[in-house]
Structure 1
Amino acid sequence: ANPETDEEGFRILDLKKKKSALPPKRRAAPVPIMPPRETRMPVDQTWSDVWPGQRTFHPASVPLPLRQGINKLGAPPSKWANAELMKIPNFLHLTPPAIKKHCQALKKFCTEWPKGLETEEQMKNHFPLEVISFDYCYSSPSIRNALARIITIKFPLSRLKFDKHSKDKFLRLVGERYDAATDTVTIVTDKCPLKMQNYDYALYLLTALYHESWIVESWENEKCEADLEYYDWENSRSKENVVVLLKGRNEESELSSPIIDEYKKAVINLFDEGENDYNISKYK
């Protein structure tokens, strides 16, 4: 007989089986949890080694008590498990020492600053064309901003070579874009979808305006004094009358005197700006 059969050889029906003793389970050794990195950072460490490049905010690596968000019942949420701090761009990799370190690494690839461009006046003298554009950085589903395509160019009118006809025509073509107080022409382009396209278009407009101002149409030579858009002193009757008057007195040399220049300005302002109390008093 064996444990599964009786003395007569029949198998024993065991309705309540006994469970065999299982070996005791070995408890897993607890994994030590390291403290946050910010608590183990020395105060004189190099921050660019901790945060060398652009990355998502990590609270254990930043030893600053930052807060972000809104909590109606108390202070703003801390930096731990803060989605507001993780989803926005940060500039922790662009600290002044890190920027200086990058500049020192790139310095060997740079050329020396050109001589003669030490001051703003010298730079404006050699490079009179000023190009203005903007870049935007903000938290949004799209990193693109439509305002970044706008290009503005500024330049002094005195740096362009004109004669009397071309300068007058250029000023009439640019219209209100010219500021007489600062002698500056401002052209803004925003029709094209890309910034570089608007930059090329602005330079094209400048080139087209300059060359168009030098073109003299056939009908422009047929204009008489009444058709002019401005008062032409050199070909005016007022100057002829002054010349006749000075010839009668044998004082032709006085044509360039300050009195004649003041009279010339008064007549030009009276015709170009219209009659007002100031211009009439100057003319009298």
Structure 2
Amino acid sequence: MLGYQYCLFMRRSVNVLHINCYAIAGCSTNTNPSDGKFRVLDLKKKTFKPQEKKKYIKTITMAPREQRMPVDQDWTNVWPGPKTFHPASVPLALRQGYDQKRASPGKYGNAELMKIPNFLHLTPPAIKKHCHVLKQFCTKWPNGLETDEDCNKHFPLTVISTDYCHASPTIRDPKARIVTLKFKLSSLQLDQHAKDKMIRLVGKRYDEETDMVTIVIDRCPMRKQNYDYGIYILTALYHESNTFEDWEKLKQEADMEYYVWENNPSKTAYVSYVQYPKVVTEEDVKLYSIDNDPVGQIYKEAVSYLLNNGEDIYTLKKYRDAAYAILLPEVDQTSA
């Protein structure tokens, strides 16, 4: 009985204390006391406001430029000059790079396409526009140079150099300094002695089949220096070839590297036969010229070609025809 009364007393005391706490603090609860739920103590008296949802504003983005380009547009306005690759401005499905598991990466977000220099500004319409603008500064093509033969005749020296364009920290390339000079040996108008000396001085740089001399200069670090050095070499070769040294006068027939018809008994025999029955002396042989003698010229070429190039069917036939023309001029050579 006492225990029951003690529990009832303690329950009343707790309720009174709880009510007094709310009365003293002057607090409000978020819940109704009569709903049987646990009431929350709010000392700061803040009212609960539900957080408003953020409004999603849809941004309107335009399509890439490549999708808005007309088919008949002027490409020079899109890509007027050299610049870094831009994927949205190029209406081409380009790919660059390597992927081991799939196809090459596309043009969007592709750093490989941005590394290399492109030539999208050098399209045929752009080049045509440039040429049209530069045309006012050009002069007419000179008369007398209509064919390649005319150009080679008036400009026998050809200078060849190369420019290189590649992706590197510097625009200079070591191979750009190389200069090549090409010319025909016949364009120098050398005599037999000077021509033979020139051939021996240039060595392997002379091509006998095309009569072309090719000199490659790469000794100096700059292209201009190599060009000047090449012109100096060409000038020195020309003057040295025309120089007749004293020791060359001591050269005899046995020391000749090739057969010279004028210095051999073949000319003496020919002159003696042509001027028969006149007695021919050595002075007459030296003074005799075959410039006005077509038969003698053919015979000279046949004998020289035979002894300089060796015996074969062609050289022997040519020598036979030349001999027939001298000994039997009235006989048809084809039937002989």
Contact 1:48–1:93 (8 Å) recurs in 2: yes
Which residue pairs with 1:9 in the alignment? none
Task: Tell me which of 164, 174, 188 is aligned to 2:202.
Answer: 174
Which residue pairs with 1:268 in the alignment? 304
**More helix by proportion, 1 or 2?**
2
Written as runs of structure 1 = structure 2, the 5 A alignment for 1:154-165 is: 154-165=182-193
User: Which deviations, in whole Å up to 9, do the C-alpha atoms of 1:98-123 show, x marking residues without a partner?
Assistant: 11111112222222222333333332
Shift of 1:244: 3.9
Q: Does residue 212 of structure 1 match 2:240?
A: yes
Task: Tell me which of 118, 126, 150 is aligned to 2:154.
Answer: 126
What is the alpha-carbon distance in structure 2 between the residues aligned to residue 126 and residue 63 of structure 1? 49
Q: Taking structure 1 as reference, are residues 225 and 41 closer, same or farther at Cα in structure 2, changes over 3 Å only?
A: same
Q: Report the residue type matching 2:197 in the other structure.
A: K
Written as runs of structure 1 = structure 2, the 5 A alignment for 1:194-213 is: 194-213=222-241
Q: Does residue 54 of structure 1 match 2:87?
A: no
Q: Taking structure 1 as reference, are residues 126 and 264 closer, same or farther at Cα in structure 2, changes over 3 Å only?
A: closer
What is the alpha-carbon distance in structure 2 between the residues aligned to residue 188 and residue 160 of structure 1? 19
* Structure 2 SS opposite 1:268: helix
The range that moved more, 142-151 or 213-222, is 142-151
Name the Cα RMSD after superposition: 3.4
Q: Does residue 192 of structure 1 match 2:228?
A: no
Unmatched 5+ stretches in structure 2: 1-23, 25-41, 281-287, 321-336
Corresponding pairs, count: 270
Written as runs of structure 1 = structure 2, the 5 A alignment for 1:19-98 is: 31-98=59-126
Task: Tell me which of 166, 171, 176 is aligned to 1:138.
Answer: 166
Q: Report the residue type matching 1:75 in the other structure.
A: A
Shift of 1:157: 1.9
What is the alpha-carbon distance in structure 1 between the residues aligned to residue 154 and residue 294 of structure 2? 37
What is the alpha-carbon distance in structure 1 between the residues aligned to residue 91 and residue 315 of structure 2? 74
What is the alpha-carbon distance in structure 2 between the residues aligned to residue 36 and residue 151 of structure 1? 48
What is the alpha-carbon distance in structure 1 between the residues aligned to residue 97 and residue 184 of structure 2? 49
* Structure 1 SS opposite 2:261: coil
What is the alpha-carbon distance in structure 2 between the residues aligned to residue 244 and residue 119 of structure 1? 47
Q: Taking structure 1 as reference, are residues 116 and 239 closer, same or farther at Cα in structure 2, changes over 3 Å only?
A: closer
Task: Tell me which of 219, 232, 242 is aligned to 2:260.
Answer: 232
Q: Report the residue type matching 1:110 in the other structure.
A: C
Contact 1:38–1:61 (8 Å) recurs in 2: yes
Shift of 1:238: 3.2
User: Which deviations, in whole Å up to 9, do the C-alpha atoms of 1:131-171 show, x marking residues without a partner?
Assistant: 22222223345443333222222222222122222222112
User: What is the percentage of aligned positions where both structures have the same residue?
Assistant: 56
Which has more radius of gyration? Answer: 2
Shift of 1:69: 1.2
What is the alpha-carbon distance in structure 2 between the residues aligned to residue 163 and residue 136 of structure 1? 41
Task: Tell me which of 150, 153, 169 is aligned to 2:178.
Answer: 150
Q: Report the residue type matching 2:125 in the other structure.
A: P
Contact 1:191–1:198 (8 Å) recurs in 2: yes
Contact 2:158–2:181 (8 Å) recurs in 1: yes
Shift of 1:245: 4.9
Contact 2:156–2:184 (8 Å) recurs in 1: yes
User: Which deviations, in whole Å up to 9, do the C-alpha atoms of 1:249-283 show, x marking residues without a partner?
Assistant: 55989x7463x55554454345544x555699567
Q: Taking structure 1 as reference, are residues 277 and 156 closer, same or farther at Cα in structure 2, changes over 3 Å only?
A: closer
What is the alpha-carbon distance in structure 2 between the residues aligned to residue 144 and residue 167 of structure 1? 39
Which residue pairs with 2:140 in the alignment? 112
* Bigger relative CO (Cα 8 Å, ≥ 6 apart): 1
What is the alpha-carbon distance in structure 2 between the residues aligned to residue 121 and residue 73 of structure 1? 58
